[in-house]
Amino acid sequence: MSWISDKAAADLGRVRDAQEKQIYPYFRPFESGGLHTTIDGKPIVNFSSNDYLGLTNHPKVKEAAKAAVDQFSCGLSSSRVQATATEHVELEARLAKWYGFESCLIFTTGYQAMVGTIMSLADKETTIVLDNLSHACILDGTFLAAGTPMRAPEVRFFNHNSAKALDRVLRKRERKNALVLIEGIYSLDGDEGEVEAFVEVCAQHENTVIVCDDAHGTGTLGRGGRGIIEKYGLEGKIPVVISTFSKTFGGIGGILLGESDVIDLIKHNARSFLFSASLPVPIVAAASTILDMLEADGEALVSELHEKAGYMRKGLTDIGFDLGDSNTHIMPLMLRDETKAMLMHVALLENGVLMVPIMYPAVKQGEERLRLNVTRGHTYEDMDKALELLKRYGESFQLIGERPAEIAEG
Ligand SMILES: Cc1ncc(COP(=O)(O)O)c(C=O)c1O
């Protein structure tokens, strides 16, 4: 036995325990794509998917991907430096126009887009200022930059979604330039970023630039689905936006938006872009087809999502569930107990509904929840079924009804 086997045995205690009790909730394999799929041959409705407009499995998207397989197969066998297809370039131009930016660069994942952007922009003259509930890609990009001797920016956190705390941190920063990293929607809590307030605060500080990760705002916020900037009319006020193809756009891939020189700087410096293979063309074709749909019918698609999200929100609050700070289509069920979250997940799954638990270390202990995302692809029958099961098991597990005093007060 080597030390790595010892380490695995020591660190996997919680995982092995849950697996032995048969309540381990992760990596369950689907047998087909889509919000309506099967696990172990049993039909399930997936409420933990990020396919927000329900377009991932649209026949036109599949057709476009199949045609691209005939032309390009599934890989270009190198990084974008020597493996760029005309489809990449065309989609970048269309995305830049649709989002209202000068330029766009497609990465192979959104995670890589964020890490590469932070690594390219932050150096010894920079203070990175980030929300203390930032997504892993923001944290990892920050820590990588901080730990790279040639870059080594200062790093400062501010309290989640607090413009006051951001202002305080910006006042105290020690480096000339500030790179403020925020999100359009925080995906574990389902709350919108206080982006308008952040823009105002940043405007009062010299050399302060915002980068906004709008992975969950694309297709869900703004009348046409262009995200948090469209919703609050912040065009021209946030210089860099990052999004993804892995949610509304039906595949995988990162979207980086900004002015041409900044995008070119990142294009020539981001190691996560330069040293990783280019996005396969069938995926580009799928995203491009979804962009066609957003251009043609964006308002109708987004408003259908909002109607369904409103229906589910009312149902959940009528039953008495605590949705934490959520004010979007992402509505975590705050169960605040690890065992109850896992048991609830199993009870729902047995009845054909998938809601994956989110637990420590993804969230603090005592803040355990089930991931519940409403999408346009869910039917009202799907939602009624989920609500009925949640009421039944919520009562059985004493998750609704009388709330514990400390939660009711908090
Ligand atoms: C807020 C946020 N940013 C970035 C990403 C990464 O996107 P991708 O799946 O394209 O790597 C995700 C996906 O989980 C996300 O939730």
Match 């948090």 to its residue by tokens.
228
Q: Which of 13-22, 95-104, 367-376, 384-393 has the lowest mean pLDDT?
A: 13-22
C-alpha atoms less than 13 angstroms from C-alpha of 238 in its C-beta half-sphere: 31
Q: What confidence tens digit (pLDDT) does each residue in 233-271 have?
A: 999 999 999 999 999 999 999 999 999 999 999 999 999
How many whole angstroms from 153 Cα to the centroid of ligand 1? 23
Ligand 1 first shell, C-beta below 6 A: 109-111, 114, 135, 137, 183, 187, 213, 215-216, 244, 246, 252, 254
Distance CA 332, CA 280 (A): 33
The answer, yes or no, to whether residue 384 has pLDDT greater than 80, is yes
Name the band, by pLDDT with cuts 50, 70 and 90, for residue 408: very low
Question: Do the two domains 17-55+298-409 and 78-279 of this chain adopt the same fold?
Answer: no
Sign of CA dihedral 303, 308, 314, 316: negative
Distance (angstroms) between ligand 1 centre and the Cα of 215 equals 6
Q: Which two tokens stand for residue 10?
A: 């020591």
Radius of gyration of the chain (CA): 22
- Express as a percent the part of the chain with pLDDT over 90: 95
Q: Is the pLDDT of residue 149 over 90?
A: yes
Architecture in CATH of 78-279: 3-Layer(aba) Sandwich (3.40)
Question: What is the CATH class of 17-55+298-409?
Answer: alpha beta
Domain positions in the chain are 17-55+298-409, 78-279
Tell me the CA–centroid distance for residue 5 and ligand 1, in Å: 31
Spatial neighbors of 293 by CB under 8 A, at least 6 apart, are 53, 55, 58, 60, 301
What is the distance between the alpha carbons of residues 393 and 294, in angstroms, rounded to a whole number?
38
Cα 326 to Cα 13, 229, 383, 408, distances in angstroms = 32, 19, 18, 16
C-alpha closest to that of 390 among 329, 325, 322 = 322
Averaged confidence pLDDT in the chain: 96
Q: Distance from CA of residue 265 to its chain's centroid? A: 25
Answer for the pair 229, 98: CB distance below 8 angstroms, yes or no: no
pLDDT at 409: 46
Please tell me the predicted confidence (pLDDT) of residue 403: 54
Task: For a ligand 1 pocket test, name from 111, 131, 371 the mutation site with the most ligand atoms within 8 angstroms of its C-beta.
Answer: 111
Burial degree of 142 (CB within 10 A; 0-12, 13-18, 19+)? buried
What confidence tens digit (pLDDT) does each residue in 167-208 have? 999 999 999 999 999 999 999 999 999 999 999 999 999 999
* Pairwise CA distance, residues 231 & 135, whole Å: 21
Q: What spacing in Å lies between the alpha carbon of 51 and ligand 1's midpoint?
A: 13
Residue range 107-127: mean pLDDT, rounded: 98
Q: What is the mean pLDDT of residues 102-128?
A: 98
Measured CA to CA, the distance from residue 71 to residue 293 in angstroms comes to 23
Fill in the amino acid letter for 410.
G
Residue 402 is predicted with a pLDDT of 59
Strands lying side by side in the sheet with 369-370: 333-334, 369-370, 357-358
Q: Can you give the pLDDT at residue 141?
A: 98
| pLDDT surpassing 50 at residue 410 | no
Mutate to test the pocket of ligand 1, among 51, 108, 133, 135 (most ligand atoms within 8 A of CB): 135
- pLDDT value for 398: 85
Instruction: Quote the Cα angle for 212-282-263, to 5°.
Output: 30
**Any idea how long the chain is?**
410
Higher-scoring residue by pLDDT: 401, 409: 401
